[in-house]
Amino acid sequence: GCSIPVADDPDAVVIPKRTPNAIVKNLSYITVDKRDKDSPPLFGGRQTWKQREESFKLNATMKVHCGFMKNSGADMDAVDVEYIQKCKFVVASGIFDGYDAPHQPSNISLRSQKLFCFLMVVDEVSFDFIEQNVTVKVDSAGGKWVGIWRLVTLHRPPFDEPRRNGKVPKILTHRLFPQAWYSIWIDGKMELMVDPLLILERYLWRGKYTFAVAVHKHHRSIYEEGDAIKRRKRYARPLVDLQMKIYYHEGMEPWDETKRMPSDIPEGAVLIREHTTITDLFSCLWFNEVNLFTPRDQLSFGYVAHRLGDALKFFMFPNCEYNSLFILHRHTREHSSKVEWAKTIDEILKKGLKESRGGLGLWTPYPADLSSVELPAVKRTSQAS
């Protein structure tokens, strides 16, 4: 890491007025699709290619898909729905598919302990694992706690892939915790080492940003990242290629020094946001891409940023600072599903590896011929981390 220029004293931080909504004034969400009566609702909905295209066009009033379709899962217990009403400042994290226990953050001031809700979103499998391995305290209202973390269990997982289920609290933080003004998302494997107020001051308020994320350690271009994902077998190769071809066809150029972002690839483990309408819109559109295509969210981040142009100003901070904010604990186990290893479309179909509730855009005919699209060549400059 490198030292981060945070202020010294959380008690001295002045919380500014909220950022006014400039371009998009009203944002609402599609929660019911015109769809066959006999098919169960999908969490991400059934967005058409036309709806997807329209969702990138900025207007004062917008209505978009944003997960949480009616009766599609990811349900919270009533006691947690009640608790989060008061959560305007949120540190959120998540553990899915078991095998991790929450890491307690260090250096949290008394002021931040009172100001922030520390919300650990878990599925039922993870909750059972946590309960067996660490002490879970139950308060008088029935809320469950591990140290500073309030456990929030999501019932009825919306996707078949644990990796996809984990994207719900991470990207759609504003949908899960709609009262939040500010949120800091950290992956479940991270231990927070810096007071959250100091993080908001350094990464949002000081430079007047509403979205901050670290740049990726090695890659700048989505095409490099796609190449690395295929080499590390993090998702089926032909499906990664298809997503890249669609993005290239739609005008997403490889990253170079002339782009306004220092990188098209974020270090995905930390997201720092003020929940303005434009930030929330970005999160919805980002989730829609992850829902439609592969669950590798680093591929679609830069694409959505590219589509929104100057409407949302990101603070992409140096990766070395990111290493000073957290201690990284290895996952007890990397969850992997069989589809990640598949080398051909044929293999996916023959072995029945196709996901039934996510990635459906990869199986829906695209409204243009992609057969002649040649992906930009990738120079393999650095080791895949």
**Could you read off the pLDDT of 169-197 as tens digits, one per residue?**
999 999 999 999 999 999 999 999 999 99
Decide if pLDDT at 383 tops 60. no
- Look up the pTM and report it: 0.96
For residue 233, being part of any structural domain is answered with: yes
- Residue-averaged pLDDT of the chain: 93
Decide if pLDDT at 130 tops 80. yes
Separation between Cα atoms, residue 321 and residue 326, nearest integer Å: 9
Decide if pLDDT at 65 tops 50. yes
Confidence of residue 80 (pLDDT cuts 50, 70, 90): very high
pLDDT confidence of residue 23:
95
For residue 6, being part of any structural domain is answered with: no
For residue 333, being part of any structural domain is answered with: yes
Confidence of residue 290 (pLDDT cuts 50, 70, 90): very high
For residue 378, being part of any structural domain is answered with: no
Decide if pLDDT at 257 tops 50. yes
**Comparison of pLDDT for 350 and 99, the residue scoring more:** 350
For residue 114, being part of any structural domain is answered with: yes
Decide if pLDDT at 335 tops 80. no
For residue 372, being part of any structural domain is answered with: no
For residue 369, being part of any structural domain is answered with: no
Q: 90-104 burial by CB neighbour count: b if 16+ within 10 A, else e? A: bbbbbbbbbbbbbbe
Query: What average pLDDT does range 344-370 have in this prediction?
Result: 94
Range(s) of the domain holding residue 111: 24-362
Number of domains in the chain: 1
Decide if pLDDT at 368 tops 70. yes
Query: What average pLDDT does range 315-339 have in this prediction?
Result: 83
For residue 18, being part of any structural domain is answered with: no
Decide if pLDDT at 307 tops 80. yes
